[in-house]
C-alpha cells in the first residue's frame, strides 16, 4: 500500500470563525498559491491562506462552491455560498 500523508487545511472565516472550506493536499509541487474564501454564513471572508502543491477542496455541509476567481497568477478567490436544498 502506498503511504499517503493527508494534509488537511481547515479554512475559517476571519469574521464569524466558522469553517467554510477544507483543502486536502493531493500532490506535492513547487506551486504556491494564496487562497481566499468568501464566507457563506456572513458577509466576510477568510484570511489569505498560502497553499503549496495541488489541492482538492471539500465544502462543508450545507454549502457549495459558486465560483472560482483567479485574481492573478497566484491569488485565487473561491466563492462559497449556501446550498439551498
Ligand atoms: Zn463568516
- Provide the phi-psi class of 43: left if phi over 0, else alpha when psi is between -120 and 50, else beta: alpha
The pLDDT of 53-72, averaged and rounded, is 95
Give the pLDDT of residue 48. 96
pLDDT tens digits, one per residue of 36-54: 999 999 999 999 999 999 9
Distance of CA 52 to the CA centre of its chain: 12
Average pLDDT of the residues in 50-74: 95
In angstroms, the CA 52 to CA 68 distance is 18
Tell how far the Cα of 34 is from the centroid of ligand 1, in angstroms: 19
Question: 20 C-alpha vs ligand 1 centroid, how far in Å?
Answer: 8
Rounded distance from Cα 39 to ligand 1 centre (Å):
5
Q: Indicate the domain borders of the chain.
A: 7-82
Q: Is the pLDDT of residue 5 over 80?
A: no
Full-model pTM: 0.88
Q: How far is the CA of 17 from the centre of ligand 1 (A)?
A: 6
% of the chain at pLDDT higher than 90: 87
DSSP 14: T
Amino acid at each position: 500500500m502506498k503511504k499517503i500523508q493527508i494534509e488537511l487545511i481547515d479554512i475559517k472565516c476571519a469574521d464569524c470563525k466558522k469553517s467554510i472550506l477544507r483543502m486536502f493536499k493531493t500532490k506535492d509541487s513547487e506551486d504556491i498559491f494564496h487562497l481566499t474564501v468568501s464566507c457563506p454564513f456572513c458577509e466576510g471572508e477568510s484570511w489569505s491562506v498560502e497553499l503549496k502543491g495541488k489541492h482538492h477542496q471539500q465544502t462543508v455541509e450545507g454549502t457549495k462552491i459558486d465560483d472560482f476567481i483567479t485574481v492573478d497568477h497566484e491569488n485565487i478567490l473561491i466563492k462559497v455560498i449556501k446550498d439551498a436544498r
